[in-house]
Amino acid sequence: MRYPNGRQKRSSLTQSNRKAPIRYGNRGMTLEEDINETNDFYLATNKAVIHKKPTPVQIVKVDYPSRSAAVIKEAYFKQPSTTDYNGVYNGKYIDFEAKETSNKTSFPLNNIHEHQIYHMKQVTAQQGLSFLIIRFTYHNETYFFPAERLFFHWQQKENGGRKSISYENVKEEGILIPIQYQARVDYLSAMNQYFV
């Protein structure tokens, strides 16, 4: 609603700003940003070497202008065949996928691709440590969720069961990761609780 002088009514402006959830805990950072910061902290403190893999891109056309860098002029996003993050912690192979959902009551399984499940099963068979990091943005909670439990719920879905993991199940079968100032999403601590 606008007044004749063209200014918006202040209270309605404030109201509309309030629609955005107030996220004291994480300063509005995305899960990816939080994990990248955590990985930087792990690297700087020699705790672990874990990186996000580059986005896979199918490059079709490249220009090579003289005296300057090659320019990719046509390329397409490819579906990742693995998870987004991997690395090493104390000699052990770590492999995970991170997803946030705005859903209040469940984590929809269509956030994960079938070939990612396949990849995580292969990693688990090789004794690698595999898991999901799930953030419920509505609850502002982030969970470590072990691959074995993901496989269970995926199988339920394949057998005609529900297409999501309920929020309650994530709470019960996963481990809440407290948001901290440094190592903002300290997933390795949660992982150690689970795998020990």
192 binds its own copies (CB under 8 A): no
Q: Which 3 state secondary structure label does DSSP give 160? A: coil
Report the residue from 81, 166, 182, 193 that binds its own copies according to the rule CB under 8 A.
Answer: 81
Which are the contacts of 91, defined by CB distance < 8 A and separation ≥ 6? none
91 binds its own copies (CB under 8 A): yes
Nearer to its own copies, 9 or 51 (CB): 51
Tokens of 108: 């929809």
Count of residues of this chain found to bind its own copies when the rule CB under 8 A is applied? 40
Q: What is the dihedral of CA 125, 126, 128, 130, to 10 degrees?
A: -30
C-alpha distance from residue 195 to each of 13, 18, 31, 48 (Å) = 49, 41, 23, 16
Nearer to its own copies, 22 or 125 (CB): 125
Report the residue from 32, 37, 87, 169 that binds its own copies according to the rule CB under 8 A.
Answer: 87
Contact indicator for 26, 136 with CB cutoff of 8 Å: no
| Window 106 to 125, contacts with its own copies (CB under 8 A) | 119, 122-123, 125
89 binds its own copies (CB under 8 A): yes
Closest by alpha carbon to 35, among 77, 78, 83? 83
Check whether 32 is labelled as a binding-site residue.
no
Residue 140 zone, left/alpha/beta (φ > 0; ψ -120 to 50; rest): left
151 binds its own copies (CB under 8 A): no
Report the residue from 5, 14, 90, 102 that binds its own copies according to the rule CB under 8 A.
Answer: 90
45 binds its own copies (CB under 8 A): no
Helices of type H across the chain = 10-18, 31-44, 114-125, 147-158, 167-173, 187-195
Nearer to its own copies, 115 or 162 (CB): 115
Can you give the binding site for its own copies, defined by CB under 8 A? 43, 46, 48-49, 51, 53-57, 59, 69-78, 81-82, 86-95, 119, 122-123, 125-128
Extract the annotated binding site: 82, 84, 97, 116
Binding residues for Mg(2+): 82, 84, 97, 116
